């Protein structure tokens, strides 16, 4: 297990050969900051790193497994990454310098590359736990994601809107997806909240080995979450083994983010590598099917990087 963890968290390097060269004076290394290996960010980050490597064959690309959104944004601010995944609400909080969310100051070096696919807040309970609604989480053992991760920030928002808090649980665990699922398999945990693209591997794994229930997030709860980045959504029937019907929930857009110190030419090449052919990423994870260049320039508080803006203007997606 220790060696597997070390291999998963180590940077993965790629040698690439293709049609472009790194612009003169540009950064030699492009580190893609992702999330845990059992989520969507990591496999999609691997695929994006390959495409970026093809676009910039003189650069050395790598992929780093992290605790996701909050850690990624702090790493970008300190210049320890060139491209990162983040949830939209985490990104807004970082720009505002929300200390409660894990940002000690305004992360003013952040720049967006573009919106990608939406995360769905997926609350999964063991069928034998008796949990069927959000209210049923009271008195149960619940994992809310790694501390101050994007998932955990989503958990705070959704539970608060439902009139719940961590103090209502018999036990609160702050664990990444894979560890949460292992505890549920061993009957040491009743439910887990996971913010990810549809078809996330951790929930598929759990649904194969155990009978589970997806807990609905009603539209009135979504409305009380109080931020336009949260949108009512549906987890379609059949997304997971044993899921017979649609389940109402809430979604929040994911973004690719960089920082102001990355050159315009490099960001332009990275943006084009992702959004000119998003279908090429679908083989890495089904969530990538929802990436759309037409939605990529969706406005958010953090400004677009000039290199990304240049690509979207060239593609006719910005005026």
Q: What is the pLDDT of residue 25?
A: 44
How far is the C-alpha of 18 from the C-alpha of 147, rounded, in Å? Answer: 40
pLDDT tens digits, one per residue of 295-307: 899 888 899 999 9
User: Quick one: 289 exposed, middle or buried, by C-beta within 10 A (0-12, 13-18, 19+)?
Assistant: middle
How far is the C-alpha of 68 from the C-alpha of 197, rounded, in Å? Answer: 14
Q: Would you kindly state where each structural domain of the chain is located, as residue ranges?
A: 2-116+254-314, 119-252
Q: Rounded to the nearest 5°, which phi and psi values hold at 32?
A: -100, 120
pLDDT tens digits, one per residue of 245-256: 999 999 999 999
**Identical fold at 2-116+254-314 and 119-252?**
yes
Helices (H) and strands (E) in the chain, counts: 11, 11
Q: What is the pLDDT of residue 279?
A: 86
What does the DSSP assignment read for 65-130? --S-HHHHHHHHHTTS-SEEEEEHHHHHHHHHT-GGGT-SS--TTEEEEEEEEEEEEEEEEEGGGT
Categorize the per-residue pLDDT at 115 as very low, low, confident or very high, splitting at 50, 70 and 90. Answer: very high
State both tokens at 221. 């709860």
**Is-contact 292 271, C-beta < 8 A?**
no
How far is the C-alpha of 216 from the C-alpha of 122, rounded, in Å? Answer: 9
pLDDT tens digits, one per residue of 133-171: 999 999 999 999 988 888 999 999 999 999 999 999 999
Q: What is the pLDDT of residue 299?
A: 82
Q: How many CB atoms lie within 10 A of CB 308?
A: 28
DSSP lists the bridge partners of residue 142 as 172, 191
3 pLDDT higher than 60 = no
In sequence order, what are the residues at sequence separation of 6 or more whose Cβ sits closer than 8 angstroms to the Cβ of residue 312? 114, 271, 293, 296, 297, 304, 318
Q: What is the pLDDT of residue 36?
A: 87
For residue 13, the surrounding DSSP H or E stretch is: strand 12-14
Average pLDDT over residues 187-216: 95
**Is-contact 54 30, C-beta < 8 A?**
no
In sequence order, what are the residues at sequence separation of 6 or more whose Cβ sits closer than 8 angstroms to the Cβ of residue 71? 33, 149
Q: Strand locations in 139-298, DSSP E?
A: 141-143, 171-173, 191-196, 212-215, 231-235, 247-259
Q: What is the pLDDT of residue 11?
A: 41
Distance, CA of 45 to chain centre = 10
Categorize the per-residue pLDDT at 277 as very low, low, confident or very high, splitting at 50, 70 and 90. Answer: confident
118 pLDDT higher than 80 = yes
pLDDT tens digits, one per residue of 166-184: 999 999 999 989 999 999 9
Percent of the chain at pLDDT exceeding 90: 79
DSSP lists the bridge partners of residue 85 as 256
From residue 183, how far is each of 126, 171, 174, 238 by CA, in Å?
A: 11, 13, 12, 24
pLDDT tens digits, one per residue of 20-52: 444 444 447 999 999 988 888 999 999 999 999
**Is-contact 102 96, C-beta < 8 A?**
no
13 pLDDT higher than 60 = no
Region 2-116+254-314: CATH code:
3.40.190.10
pLDDT tens digits, one per residue of 257-272: 999 999 999 999 999 9
CATH class of the region 119-252: alpha beta
């Amino acid at each position: 297990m220790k060696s597997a963890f070390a291999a998963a968290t180590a940077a993965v390097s790629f040698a690439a050969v293709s049609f472009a060269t790194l612009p003169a004076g540009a950064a030699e290394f492009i580190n893609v900051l992702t999330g845990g290996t059992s989520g969507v960010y990591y496999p999609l980050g691997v695929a994006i790193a390959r495409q970026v490597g093809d676009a910039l064959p003189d650069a050395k690309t790598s992929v780093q497994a992290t605790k996701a959104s909050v850690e990624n944004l702090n790493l970008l601010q300190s210049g320890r990454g060139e491209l990162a995944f983040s949830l939209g609400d985490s990104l807004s909080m970082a720009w505002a310098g929300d200390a409660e969310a894990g940002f000690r100051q305004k992360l003013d070096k952040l720049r967006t590359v573009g919106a990608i696919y939406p995360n769905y807040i997926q609350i999964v309970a063991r069928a034998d736990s008796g949990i069927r609604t959000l209210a049923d989480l009271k008195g149960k053992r619940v994992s809310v994601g790694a501390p101050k991760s994007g998932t955990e920030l989503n958990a705070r928002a959704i539970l608060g809107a439902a009139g719940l808090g961590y103090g209502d649980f018999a036990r609160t665990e702050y664990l990444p997806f894979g560890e949460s699922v292992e505890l549920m398999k061993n009957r040491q945990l009743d439910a887990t909240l996971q913010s990810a693209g549809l078809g996330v591997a951790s929930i598929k794994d759990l649904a194969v080995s155990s009978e589970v229930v997806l807990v609905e997030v009603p539209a009135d709860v979504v409305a009380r979450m109080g931020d336009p980045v949260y949108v009512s959504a549906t987890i379609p029937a059949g997304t997971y083994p044993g899921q017979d019907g649609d389940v109402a929930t809430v979604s929040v857009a994911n973004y690719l983010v960089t920082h102001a110190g990355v050159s315009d030419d490099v960001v332009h090449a990275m943006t084009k590598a992702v959004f000119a052919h998003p279908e090429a990423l679908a083989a890495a994870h089904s969530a990538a099917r929802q990436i759309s260049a037409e939605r990529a320039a969706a406005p958010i508080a953090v400004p677009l990087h000039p290199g990304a803006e240049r690509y979207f203007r060239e593609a006719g997606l910005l005026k």
